Amino acid sequence: MKSILLIDHGSRRDEANYMMACMANLVQHLVGETAAVRFAHMEICEPTIDQGFAACVEAGADEVIAFPYMLSPGRHSTSDIPKMVGRAAARFPGVTHRVVPAFGVHEHLADLILERAGIARARGLPDDSAGCCWDPAHSNGACGDACPAKALVSAQ
């Protein structure tokens, strides 16, 4: 069984930490019984990444997909979290794991920004926008792993 481990930074604010339990519960509802969804915090509070990974395995996971619950491909999501997940995974040699990129640039995030701002979309995306790099300089990859163009190239 696959498992999704949502990982945020962790906070001194209880409400921020509890939000991860709510998000994990929402994602679990959406996937039903097809995957186990758990959460962890990188630091400051529990559950730790070690505890979250173990919870995935206890739920029956033979594959853990770690999702850095962060907007950009910064140091935590590209370096710290993969290292911490790797250390946690070492305790479970029969379980595969991977760390997927942070949220990055995505149409649904843009829609959420507009919704929260109370502004309606003025237009849809162009038909050829799948995997489009939205960098004003058209660099096709300036935002690293978060770039939709890079994700499209990686999938090919």
Among 81, 76, 72, which Cα is nearest to 106's? 72
Same domain, 93 and 122: no
Asked whether residue 95 falls in the same domain as residue 111, the answer is no
**Structure confidence at residue 20 as a pLDDT band (50, 70, 90):** very high
Residue numbers of the domain that contains 120: 107-155
3-class SS of residue 38: strand
Instruction: Quote the pTM value.
Output: 0.85
- Catalytic residue chosen out of the listed positions 9, 41, 76, 97: 9
In the chain, the number of structural domains is: 2
What CATH number does the domain containing 83 carry? 3.40.50.1400
The pLDDT, as a whole number, for residue 136 is 74
57 in Cβ contact with 64 (< 8 Å)? yes
**9 among known catalytic residues:** yes
Looking at the structure, tell me whether residues 77 and 124 fall in a common domain.
no
pLDDT tens by residue, 74-88: 888 888 999 999 999
